Structure 1
Amino acid sequence: MTGDSSTAEMVSARFRKELVADSWIGEISSAFPQQRFELLTATPVADGVLGLGATVGTEPTAAGDAIRTHPDITGYEELHADAERLLARFKWTERKFFNYLRAVSVPPEFPVVVENGVMEFDVTVDRDQFERIGAVLEGREQAYEVVSVVSARESASVLTDRQRECLSVALREGYFSVPRECTLADVAAIIGVDKSTASKTIRRGSERILEWFLVGQNAPEPP
Protein backbone atom coordinates (compact mmCIF):
# COMPACT_ATOMS: atom_id res chain seq x y z
CA MET A 1 0.00 0.00 0.00
CA THR A 2 1.06 3.60 -0.42
CA GLY A 3 1.78 6.13 2.30
CA ASP A 4 -1.80 7.43 2.02
CA SER A 5 -3.08 4.32 3.81
CA SER A 6 -0.85 4.83 6.84
CA THR A 7 -1.73 8.53 7.00
CA ALA A 8 -5.42 7.63 7.33
CA GLU A 9 -4.72 5.00 9.99
CA MET A 10 -6.60 5.79 13.20
CA VAL A 11 -5.09 5.26 16.62
CA SER A 12 -6.84 4.91 19.97
CA ALA A 13 -4.47 5.95 22.73
CA ARG A 14 -4.64 6.41 26.48
CA PHE A 15 -2.43 9.00 28.13
CA ARG A 16 -1.57 9.28 31.82
CA LYS A 17 -0.38 12.70 32.93
CA GLU A 18 0.60 14.31 36.21
CA LEU A 19 -1.50 17.39 36.92
CA VAL A 20 0.02 20.79 37.57
CA ALA A 21 0.33 21.88 41.18
CA ASP A 22 -2.10 24.79 40.73
CA SER A 23 -4.84 22.68 39.10
CA TRP A 24 -7.91 22.53 41.33
CA ILE A 25 -8.65 18.89 40.49
CA GLY A 26 -5.01 17.96 40.99
CA GLU A 27 -5.07 19.62 44.40
CA ILE A 28 -8.36 18.02 45.48
CA SER A 29 -7.58 14.56 44.16
CA SER A 30 -4.24 14.61 45.97
CA ALA A 31 -6.07 15.53 49.18
CA PHE A 32 -8.42 12.54 48.64
CA PRO A 33 -6.04 9.90 47.20
CA GLN A 34 -8.54 7.05 47.59
CA GLN A 35 -11.26 8.85 45.62
CA ARG A 36 -11.77 8.44 41.88
CA PHE A 37 -12.81 11.65 40.12
CA GLU A 38 -14.58 11.28 36.76
CA LEU A 39 -15.25 14.16 34.39
CA LEU A 40 -18.20 12.76 32.46
CA THR A 41 -18.62 15.64 30.02
CA ALA A 42 -17.38 19.20 29.75
CA THR A 43 -17.36 22.11 27.35
CA PRO A 44 -15.35 25.35 27.33
CA VAL A 45 -17.41 28.51 27.83
CA ALA A 46 -16.49 32.18 27.71
CA ASP A 47 -15.25 32.40 31.29
CA GLY A 48 -14.12 28.84 31.99
CA VAL A 49 -15.43 25.29 31.63
CA LEU A 50 -18.86 23.83 32.39
CA GLY A 51 -18.80 20.17 33.30
CA LEU A 52 -20.61 17.17 34.74
CA GLY A 53 -18.56 15.02 37.07
CA ALA A 54 -18.63 12.31 39.71
CA THR A 55 -16.47 11.27 42.61
CA VAL A 56 -16.45 7.62 43.64
CA GLY A 57 -15.00 6.12 46.81
CA THR A 58 -15.39 6.15 50.56
CA GLU A 59 -15.59 9.95 50.98
CA PRO A 60 -17.88 11.29 48.24
CA THR A 61 -19.53 13.96 50.39
CA ALA A 62 -16.25 15.39 51.72
CA ALA A 63 -14.73 15.35 48.22
CA GLY A 64 -17.84 17.06 46.82
CA ASP A 65 -17.62 19.75 49.51
CA ALA A 66 -13.95 20.31 48.62
CA ILE A 67 -14.91 20.85 44.98
CA ARG A 68 -17.82 23.16 45.87
CA THR A 69 -15.72 25.39 48.13
CA HIS A 70 -12.57 25.55 45.99
CA PRO A 71 -11.77 29.12 44.80
CA ASP A 72 -11.58 28.02 41.15
CA ILE A 73 -15.16 26.66 41.21
CA THR A 74 -17.59 29.40 40.21
CA GLY A 75 -20.78 27.33 40.15
CA TYR A 76 -21.82 24.02 41.74
CA GLU A 77 -25.01 21.95 41.81
CA GLU A 78 -25.19 18.53 43.46
CA LEU A 79 -27.38 16.15 41.45
CA HIS A 80 -27.04 12.87 43.34
CA ALA A 81 -25.23 11.52 46.38
CA ASP A 82 -25.04 8.18 48.18
CA ALA A 83 -22.50 6.38 50.35
CA GLU A 84 -20.06 5.76 47.49
CA ARG A 85 -20.80 8.19 44.66
CA LEU A 86 -21.61 11.85 44.21
CA LEU A 87 -22.70 13.42 40.91
CA ALA A 88 -22.57 17.18 40.37
CA ARG A 89 -22.65 19.85 37.71
CA PHE A 90 -20.05 22.57 38.17
CA LYS A 91 -18.17 25.38 36.49
CA TRP A 92 -14.53 26.28 36.88
CA THR A 93 -12.10 28.88 35.62
CA GLU A 94 -8.96 27.13 34.31
CA ARG A 95 -8.88 25.44 30.89
CA LYS A 96 -5.42 23.83 30.76
CA PHE A 97 -6.62 20.38 29.74
CA PHE A 98 -8.60 21.75 26.78
CA ASN A 99 -5.66 23.92 25.78
CA TYR A 100 -3.49 20.80 25.43
CA LEU A 101 -5.90 19.22 22.98
CA ARG A 102 -6.81 22.44 21.19
CA ALA A 103 -3.15 22.72 20.16
CA VAL A 104 -3.60 19.61 17.98
CA SER A 105 -7.34 20.04 17.18
CA VAL A 106 -8.36 16.90 19.09
CA PRO A 107 -11.66 16.67 21.01
CA PRO A 108 -11.40 14.86 24.38
CA GLU A 109 -13.12 11.55 24.99
CA PHE A 110 -15.05 11.13 28.22
CA PRO A 111 -14.87 10.11 30.95
CA VAL A 112 -11.58 11.76 31.91
CA VAL A 113 -10.39 10.11 35.12
CA VAL A 114 -8.28 11.67 37.88
CA GLU A 115 -6.84 9.78 40.84
CA ASN A 116 -4.33 11.12 43.35
CA GLY A 117 -3.08 13.97 41.16
CA VAL A 118 -2.81 11.88 37.98
CA MET A 119 -5.17 12.21 35.01
CA GLU A 120 -5.94 9.56 32.39
CA PHE A 121 -7.68 10.41 29.13
CA ASP A 122 -8.33 8.70 25.80
CA VAL A 123 -8.14 10.07 22.28
CA THR A 124 -8.86 8.61 18.85
CA VAL A 125 -6.68 10.33 16.29
CA ASP A 126 -4.64 9.75 13.17
CA ARG A 127 -0.91 9.08 13.44
CA ASP A 128 0.09 12.69 12.80
CA GLN A 129 -2.20 13.97 15.56
CA PHE A 130 -0.90 11.29 17.92
CA GLU A 131 2.66 12.45 17.38
CA ARG A 132 1.63 16.08 17.88
CA ILE A 133 -0.06 15.31 21.19
CA GLY A 134 3.16 13.73 22.38
CA ALA A 135 5.11 16.79 21.22
CA VAL A 136 2.75 19.15 23.06
CA LEU A 137 2.96 17.12 26.28
CA GLU A 138 6.74 16.88 25.96
CA GLY A 139 6.84 20.65 26.00
CA ARG A 140 5.14 20.81 29.41
CA GLU A 141 6.87 20.40 32.75
CA GLN A 142 4.61 17.61 34.02
CA ALA A 143 5.50 13.96 33.45
CA TYR A 144 3.27 11.85 31.23
CA GLU A 145 3.18 8.38 29.73
CA VAL A 146 1.31 6.60 26.97
CA VAL A 147 -0.58 3.80 28.73
CA SER A 148 -1.82 2.05 25.58
CA VAL A 149 -1.90 2.49 21.82
CA VAL A 150 -4.18 0.50 19.53
CA SER A 151 -4.21 0.91 15.78
CA ALA A 152 -7.60 0.22 14.22
CA ARG A 153 -5.92 -0.99 11.03
CA GLU A 154 -3.68 -3.38 12.93
CA SER A 155 -6.36 -4.73 15.27
CA ALA A 156 -8.78 -5.57 12.44
CA SER A 157 -6.50 -8.34 11.14
CA VAL A 158 -5.30 -9.86 14.42
CA LEU A 159 -7.63 -12.88 14.39
CA THR A 160 -9.21 -15.03 11.73
CA ASP A 161 -13.00 -15.23 11.77
CA ARG A 162 -12.83 -18.74 13.26
CA GLN A 163 -10.38 -17.65 15.98
CA ARG A 164 -12.57 -14.67 16.87
CA GLU A 165 -15.70 -16.86 17.04
CA CYS A 166 -13.99 -19.53 19.14
CA LEU A 167 -12.44 -17.09 21.61
CA SER A 168 -15.69 -15.14 21.91
CA VAL A 169 -17.62 -18.29 22.78
CA ALA A 170 -14.92 -19.44 25.21
CA LEU A 171 -14.94 -16.07 26.97
CA ARG A 172 -18.73 -15.82 27.10
CA GLU A 173 -19.20 -19.35 28.42
CA GLY A 174 -16.53 -19.01 31.12
CA TYR A 175 -13.75 -21.17 29.68
CA PHE A 176 -11.15 -18.63 30.87
CA SER A 177 -12.76 -18.11 34.28
CA VAL A 178 -11.12 -19.31 37.49
CA PRO A 179 -12.50 -21.77 38.34
CA ARG A 180 -13.42 -22.74 34.77
CA GLU A 181 -17.17 -22.61 34.09
CA CYS A 182 -17.24 -24.67 30.90
CA THR A 183 -15.10 -27.35 29.28
CA LEU A 184 -13.27 -27.44 25.98
CA ALA A 185 -15.90 -29.95 24.82
CA ASP A 186 -18.62 -27.38 25.58
CA VAL A 187 -16.90 -24.74 23.46
CA ALA A 188 -16.35 -27.23 20.64
CA ALA A 189 -20.01 -28.27 20.68
CA ILE A 190 -21.27 -24.69 20.51
CA ILE A 191 -19.18 -23.77 17.46
CA GLY A 192 -19.60 -27.18 15.82
CA VAL A 193 -16.02 -28.53 15.74
CA ASP A 194 -14.18 -31.34 17.51
CA LYS A 195 -12.20 -30.79 20.74
CA SER A 196 -8.84 -30.93 18.97
CA THR A 197 -9.82 -28.16 16.55
CA ALA A 198 -11.27 -26.02 19.33
CA SER A 199 -8.11 -26.46 21.40
CA LYS A 200 -5.84 -25.53 18.50
CA THR A 201 -7.99 -22.52 17.55
CA ILE A 202 -8.07 -21.18 21.12
CA ARG A 203 -4.32 -21.67 21.49
CA ARG A 204 -3.47 -19.97 18.18
CA GLY A 205 -5.96 -17.15 18.74
CA SER A 206 -4.63 -16.49 22.24
CA GLU A 207 -1.07 -16.49 20.91
CA ARG A 208 -2.05 -13.99 18.21
CA ILE A 209 -3.61 -11.62 20.76
CA LEU A 210 -0.54 -11.80 22.98
CA GLU A 211 1.78 -11.19 20.03
CA TRP A 212 -0.29 -8.22 18.90
CA PHE A 213 -0.54 -6.75 22.41
CA LEU A 214 3.12 -7.23 23.35
CA VAL A 215 4.81 -6.88 19.96
CA GLY A 216 2.33 -4.76 18.03
CA GLN A 217 3.16 -4.04 14.40
CA ASN A 218 5.88 -6.69 14.29
CA ALA A 219 3.42 -9.52 14.80
CA PRO A 220 2.88 -11.68 11.68
CA GLU A 221 -0.42 -11.78 9.83
CA PRO A 222 -2.79 -14.60 10.92
CA PRO A 223 -2.58 -17.85 8.92
Structure 2
Amino acid sequence: MADLSYSMPKVRMKVEASGSLAELSKAHPDATFRILTSLSTDAGHMTLVEIEELDPERAANFLEGDSDVLTHEVLHTDDRKAVIQFLQESEPAAGRAGQESNNPPPYPLVLRDGWILAESITTHDRLTAFREQLEAVGVKYELLSVTQSQDPTELLTERQREFVTEALERGYYDTPRRCSLTDVADALGVNKATASGILHRAEGAIMKEFMEGPSME
Protein backbone atom coordinates (compact mmCIF):
# COMPACT_ATOMS: atom_id res chain seq x y z
CA MET A 1 0.00 0.00 0.00
CA ALA A 2 1.27 3.46 -0.84
CA ASP A 3 2.30 5.77 1.99
CA LEU A 4 -0.49 8.34 2.40
CA SER A 5 1.33 10.42 5.02
CA TYR A 6 3.11 12.75 2.61
CA SER A 7 1.24 15.82 1.39
CA MET A 8 1.93 19.40 0.38
CA PRO A 9 -0.17 22.46 1.15
CA LYS A 10 -2.49 23.88 -1.48
CA VAL A 11 -2.27 27.62 -0.96
CA ARG A 12 -4.79 30.26 -2.01
CA MET A 13 -3.61 33.80 -1.42
CA LYS A 14 -3.88 37.39 -2.59
CA VAL A 15 -0.81 39.56 -3.06
CA GLU A 16 -0.69 43.31 -3.55
CA ALA A 17 0.38 44.12 -7.09
CA SER A 18 2.49 47.06 -8.22
CA GLY A 19 3.34 48.75 -11.48
CA SER A 20 1.33 49.80 -14.51
CA LEU A 21 -1.04 46.84 -14.63
CA ALA A 22 -1.86 47.17 -10.94
CA GLU A 23 -2.74 50.85 -11.37
CA LEU A 24 -4.87 50.06 -14.42
CA SER A 25 -6.79 47.43 -12.46
CA LYS A 26 -7.39 49.91 -9.62
CA ALA A 27 -8.72 52.46 -12.11
CA HIS A 28 -11.11 49.81 -13.46
CA PRO A 29 -12.04 47.54 -10.51
CA ASP A 30 -14.86 45.83 -12.42
CA ALA A 31 -12.48 44.57 -15.11
CA THR A 32 -10.74 41.20 -14.90
CA PHE A 33 -7.07 40.90 -15.78
CA ARG A 34 -5.42 37.52 -16.38
CA ILE A 35 -1.65 37.64 -16.46
CA LEU A 36 -0.85 34.88 -18.94
CA THR A 37 2.92 35.09 -18.57
CA SER A 38 5.59 37.48 -17.36
CA LEU A 39 9.31 37.10 -17.95
CA SER A 40 12.55 39.03 -17.98
CA THR A 41 14.35 39.61 -21.28
CA ASP A 42 17.45 41.51 -22.36
CA ALA A 43 15.19 44.43 -23.29
CA GLY A 44 13.25 44.50 -19.99
CA HIS A 45 10.42 42.65 -18.27
CA MET A 46 7.67 41.50 -20.63
CA THR A 47 4.09 40.79 -19.53
CA LEU A 48 1.26 39.25 -21.54
CA VAL A 49 -2.20 40.01 -20.14
CA GLU A 50 -5.78 39.18 -21.11
CA ILE A 51 -8.32 41.85 -20.12
CA GLU A 52 -12.09 41.47 -19.89
CA GLU A 53 -14.75 44.13 -19.36
CA LEU A 54 -12.50 47.02 -20.41
CA ASP A 55 -12.21 48.92 -23.68
CA PRO A 56 -8.88 47.83 -25.27
CA GLU A 57 -8.21 51.37 -26.49
CA ARG A 58 -8.60 52.73 -22.96
CA ALA A 59 -6.16 50.10 -21.64
CA ALA A 60 -3.65 50.88 -24.40
CA ASN A 61 -3.90 54.61 -23.75
CA PHE A 62 -3.26 54.05 -20.05
CA LEU A 63 -0.12 52.03 -20.74
CA GLU A 64 1.06 54.55 -23.32
CA GLY A 65 0.83 57.33 -20.75
CA ASP A 66 2.83 55.41 -18.13
CA SER A 67 6.52 56.32 -18.09
CA ASP A 68 7.40 52.87 -16.67
CA VAL A 69 6.11 51.16 -19.83
CA LEU A 70 8.74 51.01 -22.55
CA THR A 71 6.58 49.49 -25.30
CA HIS A 72 3.12 47.95 -25.63
CA GLU A 73 1.13 46.17 -28.32
CA VAL A 74 -2.49 45.04 -28.59
CA LEU A 75 -2.22 41.48 -29.95
CA HIS A 76 -5.89 40.54 -30.06
CA THR A 77 -9.34 42.05 -29.52
CA ASP A 78 -12.91 40.78 -29.78
CA ASP A 79 -16.28 41.57 -28.23
CA ARG A 80 -15.29 40.19 -24.83
CA LYS A 81 -11.58 40.63 -24.28
CA ALA A 82 -8.24 41.97 -25.39
CA VAL A 83 -4.73 40.53 -25.19
CA ILE A 84 -1.96 43.08 -24.66
CA GLN A 85 1.79 42.65 -24.42
CA PHE A 86 3.89 45.32 -22.75
CA LEU A 87 7.47 45.83 -21.65
CA GLN A 88 8.72 47.43 -18.42
CA GLU A 89 12.24 48.13 -17.20
CA SER A 90 12.07 45.64 -14.30
CA GLU A 91 9.91 42.93 -12.75
CA PRO A 92 7.39 44.03 -10.09
CA ALA A 93 8.30 43.34 -6.44
CA ALA A 94 5.84 40.47 -5.94
CA GLY A 95 7.27 38.62 -8.94
CA ARG A 96 10.82 39.06 -7.68
CA ALA A 97 9.78 37.72 -4.27
CA GLY A 98 8.39 34.62 -5.96
CA GLN A 99 11.58 34.04 -7.93
CA GLU A 100 13.83 34.60 -4.91
CA SER A 101 11.87 32.06 -2.83
CA ASN A 102 11.74 29.47 -5.63
CA ASN A 103 7.99 29.92 -6.07
CA PRO A 104 7.45 30.51 -9.79
CA PRO A 105 4.10 32.21 -10.47
CA PRO A 106 1.26 29.71 -11.20
CA TYR A 107 0.08 31.31 -14.46
CA PRO A 108 -2.44 32.45 -15.35
CA LEU A 109 -2.74 34.88 -12.46
CA VAL A 110 -5.97 36.77 -11.83
CA LEU A 111 -5.59 40.48 -11.05
CA ARG A 112 -8.50 42.50 -9.70
CA ASP A 113 -8.50 45.97 -8.20
CA GLY A 114 -4.78 45.94 -7.45
CA TRP A 115 -4.55 42.42 -5.99
CA ILE A 116 -3.16 39.26 -7.56
CA LEU A 117 -5.17 36.13 -6.74
CA ALA A 118 -3.26 32.86 -6.99
CA GLU A 119 -3.58 29.19 -6.12
CA SER A 120 -0.66 26.77 -6.09
CA ILE A 121 0.74 23.65 -4.48
CA THR A 122 4.07 24.20 -2.77
CA THR A 123 6.07 23.06 0.24
CA HIS A 124 5.83 24.54 3.72
CA ASP A 125 9.42 25.77 3.47
CA ARG A 126 8.84 27.53 0.14
CA LEU A 127 5.64 29.12 1.42
CA THR A 128 7.49 30.47 4.44
CA ALA A 129 10.31 31.76 2.24
CA PHE A 130 7.81 33.49 -0.07
CA ARG A 131 6.10 35.22 2.84
CA GLU A 132 9.46 36.36 4.20
CA GLN A 133 10.47 37.76 0.81
CA LEU A 134 7.18 39.63 0.47
CA GLU A 135 7.57 41.13 3.94
CA ALA A 136 11.18 42.07 3.24
CA VAL A 137 10.17 44.23 0.27
CA GLY A 138 7.04 45.60 1.93
CA VAL A 139 4.47 43.83 -0.24
CA LYS A 140 1.13 43.18 1.47
CA TYR A 141 -0.45 39.74 1.19
CA GLU A 142 -3.26 37.68 2.67
CA LEU A 143 -3.49 33.91 2.97
CA LEU A 144 -7.02 32.92 2.00
CA SER A 145 -6.64 29.22 2.73
CA VAL A 146 -3.97 26.58 3.28
CA THR A 147 -5.15 23.01 2.87
CA GLN A 148 -3.29 19.74 2.58
CA SER A 149 -3.17 18.58 -1.02
CA GLN A 150 -2.26 14.94 -1.47
CA ASP A 151 0.61 14.23 -3.83
CA PRO A 152 -1.09 12.69 -6.92
CA THR A 153 1.30 9.71 -6.80
CA GLU A 154 0.25 9.06 -3.19
CA LEU A 155 -3.48 9.69 -3.53
CA LEU A 156 -4.42 6.08 -4.34
CA THR A 157 -3.08 2.78 -3.10
CA GLU A 158 -1.21 0.65 -5.62
CA ARG A 159 -4.20 -1.69 -5.86
CA GLN A 160 -6.62 1.18 -6.41
CA ARG A 161 -4.40 2.59 -9.16
CA GLU A 162 -4.26 -0.85 -10.76
CA PHE A 163 -8.05 -1.10 -10.89
CA VAL A 164 -8.61 2.48 -12.03
CA THR A 165 -5.99 2.09 -14.76
CA GLU A 166 -7.56 -1.15 -15.97
CA ALA A 167 -11.02 0.43 -15.96
CA LEU A 168 -9.80 3.46 -17.89
CA GLU A 169 -7.96 1.41 -20.48
CA ARG A 170 -10.97 -0.84 -21.07
CA GLY A 171 -13.36 2.10 -21.44
CA TYR A 172 -15.34 1.62 -18.22
CA TYR A 173 -15.47 5.41 -17.74
CA ASP A 174 -16.26 6.22 -21.37
CA THR A 175 -19.70 7.44 -22.46
CA PRO A 176 -21.15 5.11 -23.51
CA ARG A 177 -19.18 2.50 -21.58
CA ARG A 178 -17.11 0.11 -23.64
CA CYS A 179 -16.94 -2.53 -20.91
CA SER A 180 -18.86 -3.60 -17.81
CA LEU A 181 -17.81 -3.84 -14.17
CA THR A 182 -17.81 -7.62 -14.62
CA ASP A 183 -15.29 -7.25 -17.48
CA VAL A 184 -12.96 -5.23 -15.22
CA ALA A 185 -13.34 -7.76 -12.40
CA ASP A 186 -12.64 -10.72 -14.69
CA ALA A 187 -9.53 -9.02 -16.11
CA LEU A 188 -8.12 -8.57 -12.62
CA GLY A 189 -9.18 -11.96 -11.28
CA VAL A 190 -11.67 -10.82 -8.62
CA ASN A 191 -15.43 -10.94 -8.21
CA LYS A 192 -17.70 -8.07 -9.17
CA ALA A 193 -18.31 -6.96 -5.57
CA THR A 194 -14.57 -6.66 -4.86
CA ALA A 195 -13.95 -4.65 -8.01
CA SER A 196 -16.87 -2.37 -7.19
CA GLY A 197 -15.59 -1.72 -3.67
CA ILE A 198 -12.04 -0.91 -4.78
CA LEU A 199 -13.18 1.40 -7.56
CA HIS A 200 -15.69 3.13 -5.27
CA ARG A 201 -13.01 3.96 -2.69
CA ALA A 202 -10.63 5.17 -5.40
CA GLU A 203 -13.32 7.34 -7.01
CA GLY A 204 -14.17 8.83 -3.61
CA ALA A 205 -10.53 9.78 -2.96
CA ILE A 206 -10.21 11.37 -6.41
CA MET A 207 -13.45 13.35 -6.08
CA LYS A 208 -12.57 14.68 -2.61
CA GLU A 209 -9.19 15.85 -3.87
CA PHE A 210 -10.72 17.44 -6.97
CA MET A 211 -13.40 19.33 -5.03
CA GLU A 212 -11.07 20.63 -2.30
CA GLY A 213 -10.13 24.30 -2.69
CA PRO A 214 -12.60 26.02 -5.06
CA SER A 215 -11.44 28.22 -7.89
CA MET A 216 -10.58 31.78 -6.95
CA GLU A 217 -12.29 33.32 -9.96
| Residue aligning to 1:68 | 63
Partner amino acid, structure 2, of 1:87: V
**Unaligned 5+ residue runs, structure 2?**
213-217
The one of the two structures with greater contact order (alpha-carbon pairs below 8 A, sep at least 6) is 2
Closer, same or farther: CA 187–18 of 1 in aligned 2, 3 Å:
farther
- Secondary structure of the structure 1 residue equivalent to 2:60: helix
RMSD: 4.2
Matched, 1:41 2:37: yes
- Normalised by the length of structure 1, the TM-score is 0.63
- Normalised by the length of structure 2, the TM-score is 0.64
Q: Distance in 1 between matches of 2:110 and 2:15?
A: 12
- Kindly indicate whether the alpha-carbon contact (under 8 Å) linking 1:32 and 1:63 is maintained by their aligned counterparts in 2: no
Q: Distance in 1 between matches of 2:101 and 2:119?
A: 14
- Secondary structure of the structure 2 residue equivalent to 1:50: strand
- Secondary structure of the structure 1 residue equivalent to 2:154: coil
- Secondary structure of the structure 2 residue equivalent to 1:99: helix
**Unaligned 5+ residue runs, structure 1?**
1-5, 175-180, 216-223
- Kindly indicate whether the alpha-carbon contact (under 8 Å) linking 2:13 and 2:145 is maintained by their aligned counterparts in 1: yes
Mapping for residues 64-143 of structure 1, pairs under 5 Å = 64-65=59-60, 67-71=62-66, 72-93=68-89, 95-121=92-118, 126-138=123-135, 140=138, 142-143=140-141
Mapping for residues 156-167 of structure 1, pairs under 5 Å = 156-161=153-158, 163-164=160-161, 165-166=163-164
Q: Distance in 2 between matches of 1:138 and 1:187?
A: 56
Matched, 1:191 2:184: yes
Number of aligned positions between the proteins: 197
* CA deviation profile, 1:100-122 (whole Å, cap 9, x unmatched): 12432444343222133321346
Closer, same or farther: CA 212–39 of 1 in aligned 2, 3 Å:
closer
